[in-house]
Structure 1
């Protein structure tokens, strides 16, 4: 009897538990206890890297980035703007017109923002250049205060608006906004009951 059990155990050990089909689960012997730490086949996980936060991509060079993607603002967005204008004129549906108008406004705003960013960067570069020249000529290093920088930007914007002829419109809008703000603090007129 003992010999028979011994032979059966040997046969079970010798028997290989293979899958008949690759899609079927592996057949396991019920005689052996299941290990506490199961051996699961690990599939190698593909990790996507975000170049904005990855050190392998290197540091962001703003001026180089702007030069590489300048074609978007110089060629593609103006072309898209013209295309949207032409489709807007041809479109008859009110909902579609509103959608196209919103897209057109968004594109125009992107172009305008990029222009103002470029102007601001050019102005800042000019200021830095002047400061470097002043240091070379013997003056001490001067760091402009944030308030002074804001003031000069405001002056630059004022001159720009004056040159384009939009100054009156912007000033009227600003006055209207300030009047609305001031109106909140005024006491409301009360009717006197007679």
Structure 2
């Protein structure tokens, strides 16, 4: 009776260790009680979706920090253009000249599927660079407008808000300044004139048809 009462007293005490029968098989995957809630299976965690990893996106800071990436893309665009240009020249040279000359230039001719892949890559990179330059011009225009507002308020004037047309003009000026500093303004203006002339030529037939009526 004393032994039974002692065992019963041990069971009732919350400070006593857990007593498990030695006849029961023990799992090889054991976890200390209280450390894992429910199951011992570890749960995966993606830090990208943690609350601490989320924040507001600062486009200006992003483009400043990754300016070297866009510069590298600009160099890659130049290289792709050079390779495609070399292939076109080799194709023309292979159609005329001596046999030895044709053999020399044949190695520079790219396969049609390779040319298509390079052209697609060129278009993608060129579009990204164009978006980057437009974003830079927009940021510069906003910065200039903000500086004018701060200066006006500092001089005791009422704050003003630019019209959308004025914002576009400021962005265009900022874009031209950016191209001029990079030494690409002349090339940009030449392409722009060619594009405008091509658009006008497409409109001419419809204008003539309208005049005939």
TM exceeds 0.5? yes
Report the TM-score when normalising by structure 1. Answer: 0.57
Alignment partner for residue 78 of structure 1, among 74, 78, 82? 74
- Equivalent of 2:128 in 110, 119, 124: 110
2:82 pairs with 1:64: no
1:156, distance to aligned residue in structure 2 (A): 4.8
Aligned equivalents of 2:69 and 2:175: distance in 1? 28
Unmatched runs of 5 consecutive residues or more in structure 1:
1-12, 24-38, 187-194
Instruction: Map 1:31-180 onto structure 2 (within 5 A).
Output: 41-50=39-48, 54-74=51-71, 76-88=72-84, 89=87, 90-146=108-164, 149-150=167-168, 152=169, 156=173, 164-172=189-197
How far is the alpha carbon of 1:147 from its aligned partner?
Answer: 5.9
Equivalents in 2 of 1:57, 1:92: separation in Å? 46
Q: CA deviation at 1:82?
A: 3.2
- Structure with the larger helix share: 2
Q: Deviations over 1:1-38 (max 9, x none)?
A: xxxxxxxxxxxx6522246xx69xxxxxxxxxxxxxxx
Closer, same or farther: CA 154–141 of 1 in aligned 2, 3 Å: closer
Task: Give the SS at the match of 1:50.
Answer: helix
- Provide the residue aligned with 2:4 in structure 1: none
Task: Find the aligned partners of 2:157 and 2:203 in 1 and give their Cα distance.
Answer: 42
4+ runs deviating over 6 angstroms: 157-163, 176-179
Aligned pair in 2 of structure 1 residues 99, 144: CA closer, same or farther (>3 Å)?
Answer: same
SS in 2 for 1:67: helix
**Could you list the runs of 5+ residues in structure 2 that have no partner in the other structure?**
1-20, 30-36, 88-107, 178-184
Which structure would you say has the larger RCO, counting Cα contacts within 8 Å and 6 or more residues apart? 2
Q: Describe the superposition over 1:41-100 as per-residue Cα deviations: whole angstroms up to 9, x where unpaired.
A: 33221221326x8444543333222221110012x1123223323443335211111111
Q: Deviations over 1:87-136 (max 9, x none)?
A: 43335211111111111121122222212221221122112111211121
Q: Is the 8 A contact 1:158 1:167 kept in 2?
A: no
Structure-2 change in CA distance of 1:94 and 1:137 (3 Å): same
